[in-house]
Structure 1
C-alpha cells in the first residue's frame, strides 16, 4: 500500500533543539547536583520524557526539576532553536502533493507550539500529538496510533520519522514504516541498531523514499 501519511518527531528531527535541551538539562542538574553532570552525560536524556529522566536521577525532586527545566527552556528557546536544512522545502512539497502530515512528540503542547511558530513549520501539519494527549509516551504505539486516527490513516499507509530510538520503536509497534535521521545527536550508527526501514541523510531524501515527483 502506498504511503500517504508522514509522521515526524519534532526535536532533533525537524528543528534543532539539541543545544537548548542540553543547556536546560545542565542548568537544572547543576542546581540540584552541582558538578556531577557534563555535556556528554546528558546526551542519553534526549528522547525520553522529562519525568522518566528526572525520576531516575532524583525521585523526590522530580516535579521541581521539571519546572526548573521548563522555565529555563522557555526563556532560552528563541536564542537556541534553529531549523534543519531542507526541512521547510520538503514539508512544503509534501503538503503541496497532498500528503497528510502530523507530529508525534514527547513534549508538552505549549513548547511544541513555540518551536513550530518560531520556525514557521506550523502551517504544514494537520495534527500534532503531544505528551498532553496520551497516557503512554513513545515508544508505546499510543501516540502514533492517535495521530493516525486523527488523520484517518492506516498504519500501513504511514511512515514515522525520528532521531531517537523511541521514534523508531513507536512506529514499529504501531505497524508503520520507519525512517531514522542521520543527523541524530546520538549518531547514525546508534539509530541503525533499531533497524529503521530507511535512513535519511538530509530531510529531502524523504522525497526519494516516497517516490515524490519533483516539479
Structure 2
C-alpha cells in the first residue's frame, strides 16, 4: 500500500532540543545531587518520559524534580532550540504534496507548542499527539494509533520517523513502516541497531522514499 501519512517524533527528530534537554537534566540533577552527574550520564534519559526517568533516580521526589526541570526548560527554550538541516523544506514539500502529517511525542502540549511555534513548523501538522493525550507513552503503540485514527489513516499507509528506540518500537508495535534519523544524539549505530525500515541521513531523504503523492 502506498504511503500517504508521515508521523514524526519532535525532540531530536524535527527540532534540535538535545542541548536544551541535557542542560535541563543537569540543572535539575545538580539541584538535588551537586556534581554527581556529567553530560554523558544524561544520554539514557533522552526518550523516556520525565516521570519514568526521575522515578529511577528518586521515586519520592518525582513531581518536584519534574517541576524544576520544566521551569528551567521553558525559560531556556528559545535560547537553546535549533532546527535540523532540510527539516522545514521537507515538511513543507510533503504538506504541499498532500501527505497527512502528524507529530507523536512524549512531551506535554505546552512545551510542544513552544518548539513548533519557534521553528514555524506548527503550520504543517494536522495532528499532534502529546503525553497529555494518552494513557501509555511510546514505545506503546497507543500514541501512534491515536494519531493515525485522527488522520483517518491505516498503519500500512504510514511511516513513523524518530531518533530513539521508543519511536521505532512504537511504529513497529502499531504496524507502520519506520525511519530512523542518523542525527540521533545517541549515534547512527544506536538507531540502526533497532532495524528501522529506513535510515535518513537528512530529512529530505524522505522525499524519494514516499515519492510523489
**Which residue is equivalent to 1:176?**
176
**Which residue is equivalent to 1:22?**
22
Compute the displacement of 1:33 (Å). 1.0
Moved over 4 A (4+): none
Aligned partner of residue 123 in structure 2, secondary structure? helix
Q: Note the residue ranges of structure 1 that are not aligned, 5 or more in a row.
A: none
Compute the displacement of 1:193 (Å). 1.1
- Provide, for residues 21-48 of structure 1, a one-character-per-residue CA deviation record: whole Å limited to 9, x for no partner: 0000000000111111100000110000
Compute the displacement of 1:80 (Å). 0.3
Question: Residues 58-97 of structure 1: matches in 2 within 5 Å?
Answer: 58-97=58-97
Q: Note the residue ranges of structure 2 that are not aligned, 5 or more in a row.
A: none
Aligned partner of residue 10 in structure 1, secondary structure? coil
Aligned partner of residue 203 in structure 2, secondary structure? coil
Aligned partner of residue 75 in structure 1, secondary structure? helix
Compute the displacement of 1:189 (Å). 0.4
Compute the displacement of 1:208 (Å). 1.3
Question: Residues 25-64 of structure 1: matches in 2 within 5 Å?
Answer: 25-64=25-64
- Provide, for residues 74-101 of structure 1, a one-character-per-residue CA deviation record: whole Å limited to 9, x for no partner: 0000000011010000001000000000
Compute the displacement of 1:10 (Å). 0.2
- Residues matched between the structures, number: 213
TM-score, scaled to structure 2: 0.99
**Which residue is equivalent to 1:110?**
110
Compute the displacement of 1:212 (Å). 3.2
In the alignment, structure 1 residue 123 sits paired with structure 2 residue 119: no
- Provide, for residues 150-175 of structure 1, a one-character-per-residue CA deviation record: whole Å limited to 9, x for no partner: 00000000000000000000000000
Distance 2:30 2:161 in 1: 33
